[in-house]
Amino acid sequence: MRAFHANWFYVTVFSTGLVGVWGLGMAFAKKTPGRAFGVARGLAIAAILIQVGAGVILFNSGIVPGNPFHMFYGIVASITLAIAYVYRAQMARKPALSYGLLLLFVMGLGFRAWANVN
């Protein structure tokens, strides 16, 4: 599970970064996101949830990263997704911009968590 959590980081950061930049690009071009963006957005969010879930399983198994900030950034990512879920109706007004910024923010949290691994 530890190797999965370490390697899934790359999937999570790549997917959130790619979809985040795609969303910002559509927002700046004033294009309406289509179904493909919605599917990609869902897959990127699922990747985040899998990563956080793997971290929770590791923590419950007694494997602690050594640095509390690593766990802190995982918790912040979870709270960020929960807040985005609560405000999903407002985010639907400008989905490309909203989700683009959200996913890039969570990508940054992933990099910060990775930087705090011992």
CA-to-CA distance for 2 and 8, rounded, in angstroms? 10
DSSP 94: S
Helices (H), the chain: 2-28, 35-60, 68-86, 88-91, 95-115
Closest by CA to 44, choosing from 88, 92, 99, is 99
Q: Are 47 and 12 in contact (CB under 8 A)?
A: yes
Per-residue confidence (pLDDT) for residue 27, from 0 to 100: 97
Q: What is the mean pLDDT of each run of 10 residues along the chain (118 residues)?
A: 93 98 97 96 97 94 86 95 97 96 97 90
Per-residue confidence (pLDDT) for residue 65, from 0 to 100: 77
